[in-house]
């Protein structure tokens, strides 16, 4: 190690004593913040290179200069190191790694499990209906239960709803809740427009309905041609037996399915489940476009944008310089996406990719998921068409992002200039905005939304339940939320001043505090800030203009400055309105959720699938109200007449 190294002898000794084994290393700064997570086939060689090279004033040199502590973990193989590295990146979000946000809440198409169909005909008129004999198809997002069937994941809610509509058109499966199904006395509108076969009133037997469900499942799994041939064979068999009505029903089903196959162009596609990934890098940002093929059908795509790309790119490039073949930034972005995205979710066995990736990564993914994962870099025919489409979408999405970010940066700059804020780096500007929402004083809530880094930071939003005030007193509500939000901040700052220390990051005040309201709300905020010893210049009220029209808002200051009316086309005013509207939206949704809980009654029970008026009445009578039902265990719920153990579990999950 060089003698003039700025690092401590203990750290350099630790680096020198590392083993020549595969593992993961982590660098920390003086505040204990994680800087970087990396993997290495040889910890000694890789980590030593950081401290032996002269990185100058580069980004990697800036990072290395901050390192004061290091942690390492030895693993058995490079594949294990890769998996551990990306688990740590996803969990700890280090500053100098390429990071994809955890946005994997994909929707599914759900088919509920059905009891074996009974051969006996059902009573007509909906009386004695048994929804558990008739599987239901529905949009679903959340944890899966093994007893039900799930198809997907789909890239968007729209794609799932299109698939549900397809199940209605071709196979006429029901989508209604069990409570609605059990209480039908005549068929609904969906039956009239031939989107449902009417199982609720006995217009189809459980056996025939189960056959439609099986065909729907085979279609979603990619066996469309086999389903079409089976339907045609059944149609001809009915025609030979002179059962022309049944044959006509199957003829209509065959025609609908043929139309779908023609529109979807899946006739000659041999691939069942494939993910197509294309990456585009431009202007210091990157986009990975993920398109999904399930059951041979192209379901759509979704773009992903890695965070902190510029800070991580040079460090990651240096980490890859030891490889036999240097990797481009596109390759590194794609490999980071693959390693992070498929943690904890199922993946197909075939990937069609725009850039070649490391074979070790594919081996690690195969080991993690228990399947053989293959990647096709230069595809042909249909796969080529899919990849071209994904690459086009990646370029379009990245261009849109760069355009939006340029517009948002211009708004940030305009606001800083209009209010003469003391901000040197625009990305560091932090704005917090507060709003109060209630219904005639009921369920009062305050919201705090955060704008930073040229965008709204939803993960930092907060809601505050307002209690102990006169219902409808917005001023008292504003006093309470500001005191709760900044009281601890002011205390931490005062304590740091007494001790002669720098306040911790959590005690940092925003550069601007927006209050949705005029002079009254601003006066209340001024009183709070004066009592806490905080800077009054931070407070700005957003007062609605004449007729409460958008674009006529005026800015009210707490430090005595005159009101400012920005032009309606001002970029600064657009940003203020954007933040104010987001605070309003967040407050209203929180208030409505709280109000719904306050008013919780029998209607909430009846919204649970399988709970009709009779079962609801029994539950309320047994437990003395919905609050008592919510406090009951699943075992207690199952002791009520008409409540099975499965339904009791469903009620318990819904109320918790």
| Distance from C-alpha of 307 to C-alpha of 98, rounded to nearest angstrom | 7
- Beta bridge partners, 434, equal 448, 515
Kindly report the backbone phi and psi dihedral angles of residue 556, in degrees, each rounded to the nearest multiple of 5, phi listed first.
-110, 130
Half-sphere CA count of 626, side-chain side, radius 13 A: 18
Q: Are 138 and 175 contacting, i.e. CB atoms less than 8 angstroms apart?
A: yes
Structure tokens at 392: 């086009």
Q: CA distances (Å), 218 to each of 152, 297, 418, in order?
A: 13, 13, 62
- Beta bridge partners, 541, equal 515, 556
Angle at 546 between CA 418 and CA 474, to 5 degrees: 85
pTM: predicted TM-score of the whole model, two decimal places = 0.64
Reduced to 3 states, what is the DSSP secondary structure of residue 122? Answer: coil
350-374 residues labelled b (16+ CB within 10 A) or e (exposed):
bbbbbbbbbebbbbbbbebeeeebe
Of 403, 404, 397, 382, the closest CA to residue 302 belongs to 397
Full 3-state SS string of 294-363: ECCEEEEEEEECCECHHHHHHHHHHHHCCCCCCCCHHHHHHHHHHHHHCCCCCCCCEEEECCCCCHHHHH
34-48 residues labelled b (16+ CB within 10 A) or e (exposed):
bbbbbbbbbbbebbb
Cite the beta strand spans of 75-194 per DSSP E. Answer: 108-111, 137-140, 149-151
Structure tokens at 488: 């601890």
Of 288, 364, 377, 286, the closest CA to residue 39 belongs to 364
In the predicted model, residues of the chain with pLDDT beneath 50 are 120-128, 262-268, 598-603
- pLDDT at residue number 601: 46
Of 393, 450, 440, the closest CA to residue 582 belongs to 450
| Distance from C-alpha of 495 to C-alpha of 486, rounded to nearest angstrom | 14
| Distance from C-alpha of 332 to C-alpha of 330, rounded to nearest angstrom | 5
Q: Are 54 and 62 contacting, i.e. CB atoms less than 8 angstroms apart?
A: no
Long-range contacts of 521-526 (CB under 8 A, 24+ apart): 521/474, 521/475, 521/478, 522/556, 522/557, 522/558, 523/558, 524/475, 524/478, 524/479, 524/482, 525/478, 525/482, 525/558, 526/558
| Distance from C-alpha of 219 to C-alpha of 168, rounded to nearest angstrom | 13
In the chain the domains, ranked by start, together with CATH numbers, are 9-77 (3.40.1440.10), 274-399 (3.30.420), 463-586 (3.30.420.340), 600-655 (1.10.150.20)
Structure tokens at 447: 């919201």
DSSP codes, 398-443: HHHHHHHHHHHHHHHHHHHHHHT---SSGGG-EEEEEEEEEETTEE
| Distance from C-alpha of 603 to C-alpha of 624, rounded to nearest angstrom | 15
- pLDDT at residue number 651: 83
């Amino acid at each position: 190690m060089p003698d003039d190294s700025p690092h401590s002898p203990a750290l350099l000794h630790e680096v020198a004593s590392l083993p020549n084994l595969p593992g993961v290393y982590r660098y920390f700064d003086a505040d204990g913040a994680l800087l970087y997570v990396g993997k290495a086939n040889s910890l000694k060689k890789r980590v030593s290179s950081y401290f032996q090279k002269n990185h100058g004033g580069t980004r990697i040199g800036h990072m290395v200069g901050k390192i004061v502590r290091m942690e390492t973990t030895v693993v058995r193989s490079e594949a294990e190191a890769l998996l551990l590295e990306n688990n740590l990146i996803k969990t700890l979000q280090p500053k100098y790694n390429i990071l994809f946000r955890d946005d994997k809440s994909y929707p599914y198409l759900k088919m509920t499990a059905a009891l074996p169909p009974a051969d006996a005909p059902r009573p007509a008129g909906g009386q004695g209906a048994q929804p558990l004999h008739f599987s239901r198809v529905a949009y679903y997002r959340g944890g899966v239960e093994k007893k039900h069937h799930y198809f997907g994941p789909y890239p968007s809610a729209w794609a799932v709803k299109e698939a549900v509509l397809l199940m209605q058109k071709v196979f006429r499966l029901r989508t209604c809740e069990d409570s609605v199904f059990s209480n039908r006395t005549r068929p609904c509108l969906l039956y009239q427009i031939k989107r449902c076969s009417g199982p609720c009133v006995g217009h189809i037997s459980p056996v025939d309905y189960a056959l439609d469900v099986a065909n729907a499942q085979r279609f979603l799994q990619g066996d469309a041609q086999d389903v079409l041939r089976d339907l045609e064979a059944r149609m001809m068999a009915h025609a030979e037996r002179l059962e022309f009505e049944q044959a006509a029903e199957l003829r209509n089903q065959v025609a609908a399915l043929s139309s779908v196959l023609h529109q979807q162009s899946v006739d000659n596609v041999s691939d069942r489940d494939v993910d197509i990934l294309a990456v585009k890098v431009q202007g210091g940002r990157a986009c990975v476009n993920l398109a999904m093929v399930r059951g041979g059908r192209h379901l759509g795509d979704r773009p992903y944008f890695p965070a902190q790309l510029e800070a991580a790119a040079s460090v990651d490039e240096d980490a890859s310089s030891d490889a036999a073949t240097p990797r481009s930034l596109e390759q590194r972005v794609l490999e980071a996406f693959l390693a992070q995205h498929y943690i904890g979710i199922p993946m197909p066995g075939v990937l069609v990719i725009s850039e070649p990736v490391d074979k070790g990564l594919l081996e690690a993914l195969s080991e993690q998921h228990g399947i053989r994962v293959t990647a096709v870099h230069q595809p042909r025919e249909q796969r080529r068409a899919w990849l071209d489409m994904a690459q086009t979408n990646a370029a379009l999405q990245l261009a849109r992002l760069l355009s939006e970010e340029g517009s948002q940066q211009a708004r940030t700059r305009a606001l800083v200039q209009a209010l003469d804020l003391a901000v040197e780096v625009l990305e560091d500007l932090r704005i917090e905005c507060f709003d109060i929402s209630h219904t005639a004083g009921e369920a009062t809530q305050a919201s705090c939304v955060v704008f930073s880094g040229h965008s709204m930071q939803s993960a930092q939003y907060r809601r505050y339940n307002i209690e102990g005030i006169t219902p409808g007193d917005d001023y008292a509500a504003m006093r309470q939320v500001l005191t709760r939000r900044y009281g601890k901040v002011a205390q931490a700052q005062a304590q740091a001043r007494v001790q002669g220390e720098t306040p911790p990051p959590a005690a940092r005040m925003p550069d601007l505090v927006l209050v949705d309201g005029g002079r009254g709300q601003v006066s209340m905020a001024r009183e709070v800030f004066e009592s806490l010893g905080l800077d009054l210049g931070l407070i700005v009220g957003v007062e609605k203009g004449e007729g409460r029209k958008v674009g006529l808002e005026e800015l009210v200051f707490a430090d005595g400055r005159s009101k400012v009316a920005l032009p309606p086309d001002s970029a600064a005013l657009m940003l203020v309105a954007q933040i104010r509207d987001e605070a309003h939206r967040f407050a209203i949704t929180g208030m409505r959720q709280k109000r719904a809980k306050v008013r919780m009654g029998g209607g909430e029970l009846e919204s649970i699938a399988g709970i009709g008026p009779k079962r609801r009445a029994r539950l309320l009578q047994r437990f003395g109200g919905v609050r008592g039902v919510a406090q009951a265990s699943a075992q207690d719920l199952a002791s009520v007449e008409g409540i099975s153990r499965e339904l009791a579990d469903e009620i318990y999950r819904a109320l918790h």
